[in-house]
Amino acid sequence: MRLGYHTITWGGVTGDPTGVTSVKDLVYRVPGSMARALRDIAAAGYDGVELFDGNLADFAAEPQRLRDLLAETGLTLVSVYTGANFVYSELLPDELHRVRRTAELAATFGAEHLVVGGGARRAAGTPDSDYDRLGEALDTVAGLAEDHGLTACYHPHLTTIVESPDEVHRLFGRSRIGFCPDTAHLAAGGGDPAELIRAHRDRVRHVHLKDVRDGRFLPLGQGDVDFGDVLAALREIGYDGWLLVELDHYDGDPAEAAQLSMSYLDERLGAATVGPGTPAREGPDDSRPDGPAGKK
């Protein structure tokens, strides 16, 4: 499993105000410097990066700027995150237009995954038919991603209609899209992230790691998530893809947070791979040839 990091921590997530009156232009965006974010992520020893659709779109007119940043840092653009309401039939064509545009751009930079969140909660409550609408829309998203050589995966998220374990099961009974478990959102929604990974083992395509305690998102190892069981579940299902740390709503230094989570993962993954006759890892520099000491 390779390790990556989301740029969300360098300024938090915002939206494009144009989207208030033009749904096709509504994107996620981090207001901080992407150059600084990528350099800090590389310096912490990660191999890959995930961007929001809005930040990726900022490079559309000058794609070489992002290619140069990726080459400089040695990072791989692993995935791009987007989202939509998906339950309002009149809005759906414009939302899918935006998803298609994101998939096209992600493909030009060699991304592997299109990560999607969403499923609006209506003011009047959530009818069961909204899960049918969401499932159908996500099947369309999966097809759009495949058309561009990407794998689409759904990210359950607080404030959407897919928060609790029951809601996760309800959605996956209606859609073929892959699963991107986010350990903190699943835990905050009342679920056991490891058990949800086991329950939907055939769908896991991508993984978001973050910790949580008392409603606050935290660097790995500082909250209540049982990452030992999460990693055990991933090994049980044979997952060998990316582990992507995503830390949002964080007030501390983003570079330091990235380093804290890397140190925690080095310790956890090192302990998990030590067996009889196998020397234990001695530190981050020994864990991967492109770890912190190998980044240029």
Residue range 5-15, pLDDT digits in tens = 999 999 999 99
Residues 6 or more apart in contact with residue 133 via CB below 8 angstroms: 86, 87, 89
The CA-atom distances, in angstroms, between 230 and each of 174, 186, 248, 274, 284 are: 25, 12, 20, 17, 21
pLDDT band at 286 (very low <50, low <70, confident <90, very high): very low
Buried b (16+ CB within 10 A) or exposed e, 49-81: bbbbbbbbbbbeeeeeebeebbeebebbbbbbb
Looking at residue 284, what is its pLDDT? 37
Intra-chain end-to-end CA distance of the chain, in Å: 22
- How much is the pLDDT for 1? 86
pLDDT at 115 > cutoff 50: yes
Token pair of 83 as six digits = 């989202």
Q: What is the dihedral of CA 63, 66, 72, 78, to 10 degrees?
A: -120
What is the pLDDT, as a whole number, of residue 272? 58
pLDDT of residue 209: 98
Average pLDDT over residues 78-97: 98
The token pair at 281 is 């890892």
Contacts 24+ apart (CB under 8 A), 183-186: 183/207, 183/208, 183/209, 183/210, 183/211, 183/212, 183/225, 183/227, 183/230, 184/210, 184/211, 184/212, 184/217, 184/223, 184/225, 185/155, 185/156, 185/157, 185/158, 186/156
The predicted model gives 156-169 an average pLDDT of 98
Domain residue spans of the chain? 2-287
Q: What percent of the chain has pLDDT over 70?
A: 91
* pLDDT level of residue 296 (50, 70, 90 thresholds): very low
Of 244, 225, 191, the closest CA to residue 80 belongs to 244
Residue 169: its pLDDT value, please?
Answer: 98
The string of pLDDT tens digits covering residues 174-215 is 999 999 999 999 999 999 999 999 999 999 999 999 999 999
pLDDT at 270: 82
What's the rounded Cα separation, in Å, for the pair 118 and 121? 9
User: How many Å apart are CA 7 and CA 5, to the nearest integer?
Assistant: 7
Say whether pLDDT at 131 is over 70.
Answer: yes
Mean per-residue pLDDT, 114-143: 98
Is the confidence at residue 276, as pLDDT, over 50?
Answer: no
Given this model, what pLDDT does residue 281 score? 34
pLDDT at 98: 97
Q: Residue 271: which pLDDT band, with cuts at 50, 70 and 90?
A: low
**Distance of alpha carbon 267 from alpha carbon 63, whole angstroms:** 37
Mean pLDDT, rounded, of the chain: 92
CATH 3.10.420.10 fits 2-287, yes or no: no
Give residue-wise pLDDT tens across range 235-253: 999 999 999 999 999 999 9
Q: Residues 39-43: what's their mean pLDDT?
A: 98
Q: Which residues of 12-47 are buried (b: 16+ CB within 10 A; e: fewer)?
A: ebeeeeebeeebebbbbbbebebeebbbbbbebbbb
What the block records as the tokens of 293 is 């000491």
Mean pLDDT confidence for 78-98: 98
